[in-house]
Amino acid sequence: MKYAIRAAIIDLDGVLTQTASQHARAWKSVFDEYNSKRAEVGKEQFQAFVIEEDYPKYIDGISRYDGVMAFLRSRGIDLPYGAAEDGRDAETVCGIGNRKNSIYQELLAQEGVQVFEQNVEVIRSWKAQGIKTAVVSASKNCQKILDLSGLSDLFEVRVDGITAEEKNLPGKPAPDTFLEAARQLDIPPQETLVVEDAQAGVEAGKKGEFRLVIGIKNASNEKELLEKGANLVVDNLKQLDMEFKKSKDPKVLPSAIKCFGELSAQFKGQTPLLFLDFDGTLSPIVEHHEDAEISDEMRELVEDLAEKYPVAVVSGRGLADVKKRVGLPELFYAGSHGFEISGPKGFARDHEEAVKVMPVFNELQPILKEKLEHIPGVDFERKKFTLAVHYRQVQPEREREVHEIVEAVLKDHPQVIGAGGKKVIETRPAIDWHKGKAVEFLKKEINKGKDTFSVYVGDDVTDEDAFKFVANGLGILVGDHGRDTYADYHLEDLEQVKQFFKRLLNL
């Protein structure tokens, strides 16, 4: 699998260090002590703390005092919270938490800190590849553990129990500590992975919409971690079959024609899913967007491909428009950059959140038309979920002016963002959805939940979302959109696209 990742956020206990077992034993000791004290004063004893069951369910990955409350409430006990300064014998949440910390410190002094060498080795290799790293822990002992284990140099950012208290950040399973780490690394969650062994931590990574959440089997098993939102679950990081995608100059991409043998070997033994852009891939780029059409030869090739491979057309055009232009009802289609999707046998799906934004475009279109009417050559294309501002006919010296006007108008409409393309500004819902996510959705829909290998062919900047986001597959860039690319191979033009399709048909 290949992922466009620029940062990694790593849990401490149970991933880097083997201190999770010391934590668990300290919790067992403090709750057993408290249970005995209840019996001494005539109070009913509660069901004893069982490490294998209660530690992963109520304690693992969350802050000390939250852990006390979560476990005791599971036994029907509600104690006063107290204060952080409470003595370790106080019958309060903080008192019990402080007693636990004392026991934990004693265990550390007696036993020292052992590290998970395989995980540390992999993280060091990530750093060597330029991946930024942060450690996130609910523990206030995080820095001490890093120092004792010799791992302080492994991370650029540390967000721990002390940080959470200072910044008033809610702990896991809330995503706030992870998001704070991503903020300090200056990398968005969509380009960041999380490694966690705790159910609460995995859930936090999922809620934070991080690109990849990796669960480590430790106190929790694979089923539990997957249910909480892990994308992958392993015993250790050495088991990962993962590469990091890097953007590159399109000029250095190998030819999909000359390297077809190497390319096709990547999906040998399985039938790949084919995802095809329309404009610039199936149809030539034209001066007026409404003049675009697919040739009979290209249509026949796509029709033949659909008899051998599952095929979907993914376009920035509106769904009805692209379906009409392709003219092959047996295909799957994703229009408006994936906000509207359809397929054979009446399959149809609109993005629910995008539906709520549709009225904004009714307000936006007349404003943009008024603001841009003094610039000759601007053309508008209204789709169900997007509004495209075309400026292919605008004089080059005024193109920057078009961008500035659109950007100024969008500042007053935060529900909508602008995305660049070839001589077009696509205004679309400010929702984390794009061609790449539409492809991932369709892959599971077409193959009943399986993540089958895919091939995506596209020419535009908007196709980079698919090249970048899709992990189990490869991307082929047609032509050159003027920027670095996450594609794996290159085709010069539509003639080479046809050659490539013919090669696929002959496999």
Q: How far apart are the first and last CA of the chain?
A: 23
Compute the C-alpha angle 415/417/422, nearest 5°.
155
Compute the C-alpha angle 471/431/130, nearest 5°.
40
Q: How many contiguous H segments (helices) and E segments (strands) does the chain have?
A: 18, 20
What distance in Å separates the CA atoms of residue 328 and residue 330, rounded to the nearest whole number? 6
What distance in Å separates the CA atoms of residue 507 and residue 63, rounded to the nearest whole number? 56
Tokens of 4: 């466009």
DSSP3 helix / strand / coil % (the chain, rounded to 5): 45, 20, 35
54 is catalytic: no
Q: Which residues are 335's β-sheet partners?
A: 340
Please name the amino acid found at residue 42: G
What distance in Å separates the CA atoms of residue 100 and residue 29, rounded to the nearest whole number? 8
Cα distances from 30 to residues 38, 65, 102, in angstroms, run 12, 13, 10
Q: CA dihedral in degrees (440, 446, 449, 451; nearest 10)?
A: -50
Cα distances from 38 to residues 32, 35, 43, 77, in angstroms, run 10, 5, 5, 12
Q: CA dihedral in degrees (426, 427, 433, 436; nearest 10)?
A: 0
- DSSP strands (E only) in 55-146: 132-136
How buried is 15 (Cβ within 10 angstroms: 0-12 exposed, 13-18 middle, 19+ buried)?
buried
Please name the amino acid found at residue 255: S
13 is catalytic: yes
Q: Which residue in 398, 341, 406, 342 sits closest to 368, CA to CA?
A: 406
What distance in Å separates the CA atoms of residue 139 and residue 118, rounded to the nearest whole number? 22
What distance in Å separates the CA atoms of residue 402 and residue 372, rounded to the nearest whole number? 7
Q: Which residues are 425's β-sheet partners?
A: 389, 420
Tokens of 360: 């904004």
Exactly one of 11, 160, 279, 460 is catalytic; which is it?
A: 11
Q: Which residue in 319, 353, 312, 361 sits closest to 336, CA to CA?
A: 319
Question: Is residue 283 within 8 Å of residue 315, measured between CB atoms?
Answer: no
Exactly one of 13, 86, 176, 459 is catalytic; which is it?
A: 13
What distance in Å separates the CA atoms of residue 417 and residue 434, rounded to the nearest whole number? 12
The 10 Å Cβ neighbour count of residue 339 is: 27
Which residues participate in catalysis according to the annotation?
11, 13
